[in-house]
Amino acid sequence: MTDADLVAKKLAFVETCVRELRTLARVDVIEHDLRERRFVEHTLQIAIQACQDVASHIVSDERLGEPRTNQALFGALEEAGWIDAPLALSLRRAVGLRNILVHGYSAVDPAVVRDVVEHHLDDLLAFVEAVRAGSTAVTEDQ
């Protein structure tokens, strides 16, 4: 069974990160301000990681299969009806960005980071809401 307290804490953390990015980040200067860029990149990284952690927890505890990659976790959630296809795609892309940020596979384009902050933070919040709705449905079924 999914640990509701753990999931709730992770989801609240995602909301906190999104709020901080919306209120504190100055994405218009990340190309020239190293401190700002690192704040934005790190906050995105940990928010995406928290979503990934929640997805992994649910997939494992609900026995939704054994995804081979972190991106595949969101496919498993989609197949089980926890999230829809467009959100699953967006979250798989977010995990790809997180991988680049964490592992430094290549230089991160500040324009991509800015686009994510300006246009895709709602995807993280949609995940939060979908999981909350799904966990409520799972709890009610038991």
CB of 36 within 8 A of CB of 45? no
pLDDT of 138 higher than 70: no
Q: For residue range 79-131, list pLDDT tens digits in order.
A: 999 999 999 999 999 999 999 898 876 678 899 999 999 999 999 999 999 99
Which range, of 5-9, 49-53, 134-138, averages the lowest pLDDT?
134-138
Q: Residue 65 region, left (φ>0) first, then alpha (ψ -120 to 50), else beta?
A: left
Distance CA 30, CA 84 (A): 32
**Banded pLDDT at 141 (limits 50, 70, 90):** very low
pLDDT of 142 higher than 50: no
- Chain centroid to Cα 44, Å, comes to 8
Distance CA 115, CA 111 (A): 6
CA quadruple 50, 64, 77, 108: dihedral positive or negative?
Answer: positive
Distance CA 41, CA 30 (A): 9
Distance CA 43, CA 17 (A): 6
Q: Calculate the average pLDDT of the chain.
A: 91
Domains of the chain: 4-141 (1.20.120.580)
Question: Tell me, what DSSP letter sits at residue 81?
Answer: T
Distance CA 37, CA 117 (A): 12
Distance CA 4, CA 72 (A): 22
pLDDT of 18 higher than 90: yes
